[in-house]
Amino acid sequence: MKMTVNRIRVVVLGSPRSGKSAVVVRYLTKRYIGEYSSTGDFLYQHRVAFDGAVSEVEILDTSNCAIRGCLLDHVRWGEAFAVVYSVCERRSFLAAAELLALLERTRLPGCAAVTLLGNKRDLEHAR
């Protein structure tokens, strides 16, 4: 019997240095790596089995979308979104709020799952 594989496209958005790549790598590998390249977007594929079904999760880790002008393309591609901000930087939170507003304007209400992630909680000394 062939198992059906569902697919979901997740886009990780956030301001530069908010920790988007760290969140993605931590999810995929259960490890923290301190240095990341912010020169381009990375697409990761990951299989998840849950309740007898297998899902192919495609995760797009974005970099400098607002500067390169590809943000709307990423929003159209995605089916779910993780908006990441650094709890150490107010500007990062304000940028996340703008991204949430953009998602609300460009995606039909209820058509996409959106999660807001506060990152870098462990850097209490930087707040």
In the numeric block, the tokens 């995605």 are attached to 78
Q: Contact, 11 vs 62, CB < 8 A? A: yes
pLDDT at 2: 57
pLDDT at 53: 87
CATH number for domain 5-126, candidates 3.40.50.620, 3.40.50.300, 3.40.50.2300, 3.40.50.720: 3.40.50.300
* Domain definitions of the chain by residue range: 5-126
Instruction: Tell me the average confidence (pLDDT) per consecutive run of 10 residues in the chain, 127 residues long.
Output: 76 90 88 72 90 91 72 90 93 94 82 88 57
Q: Contact, 54 vs 8, CB < 8 A? A: no
pLDDT at 127: 47
Supply φ then ψ for residue 108, to 5 degrees.
-60, 140
